A and B are shown apart, each in its own frame.
Chain A
């Protein structure tokens, strides 16, 4: 019963590098989402997906791409990392869109130099 699993837990990048933050859930949840958490800014929605093949933008989507090829996985891609993307990233899931996120991963702490 793993719930929502995020990898890696920590990552340091240089400006301009690309990387993918992985998120997987084993609960057959339709709704998955990505948030970033910054001091003084709380949690902000980046992208979300209501099912395989369907994604949409959240509050702060610029600089990030997502795809949802399977129900289980929802990776977040940074194509060209910028220092402003230094943050803690959380992936979340719930059974359906009407149920707001029920399970969160433990986060990926990303630093961009």
Chain B
């Protein structure tokens, strides 16, 4: 199974827009891309999910190019409370069943 890669860490300031990318070259054709936020000592929390093009909800946007081999989570105006680890999750092609694989995670540090 190919590794699903993300930048290890990113730094930002309050009020800025943050874009976190995820590379998934072997994504299954029929599976979604999902992003999660995780705080220390807690389980991941669902942020947004999409299949192609652009999806937007009240907290984030998700951009997916036509080849679906990458995706970008966009947080419009971050605050200190957005400091967390962010993971993408995709289904990878392989055998009879697609395997759900998490990305390596990106630690976002937001400063005042």
Which residues of A are interface residues toward B (Cβ below 8 A)?
4, 33, 35, 42-45, 48, 56, 58-59, 90, 92, 98-107
Contact = CB atoms under 8 A, between A and B. Distances in A.
Given A42-B87, A59-B1, A90-B43, A100 B34 contact: yes
Contacts of A105: 43
B71 to A, nearest CB: 13
A106 B45 CA distance: 10
Contact of B32 (A44, A100, A106): A100
Contacts of A104: 36, 43-45
Contact of B49 (A42, A59, A99): A99
Given A59-B99, A101-B46, 9 more contacts: A58-B100, A59-B1, A92-B44, A100-B31, A100-B32, A100-B100, A101-B34, A101-B89, A106-B43
Interface stretch (B13-21, B53-61, B62-70, B101-109): B101-109
B46 A103 contact: yes
Nearest to B104: A42
A101 to B, nearest CB: 7
Q: Which of A43, A99, A102 has the most CB of B within 10 A?
A: A43
B99 A100 contact: no
A42 B106 CA distance: 10
27 contacts: A42-B104, A42-B105, A43-B44, A43-B87, A43-B102, A44-B102, A45-B100, A45-B101, A48-B100, A58-B99, A58-B100, A59-B101, A92-B43, A98-B32, A99-B49, A100-B32, A100-B91, A101-B44, A101-B46, A101-B89, A101-B100, A103-B46, A104-B36, A106-B41, A106-B42, A106-B43, A107-B41
A71 B26 CA distance: 31
Contacts of B102: 35, 42-44
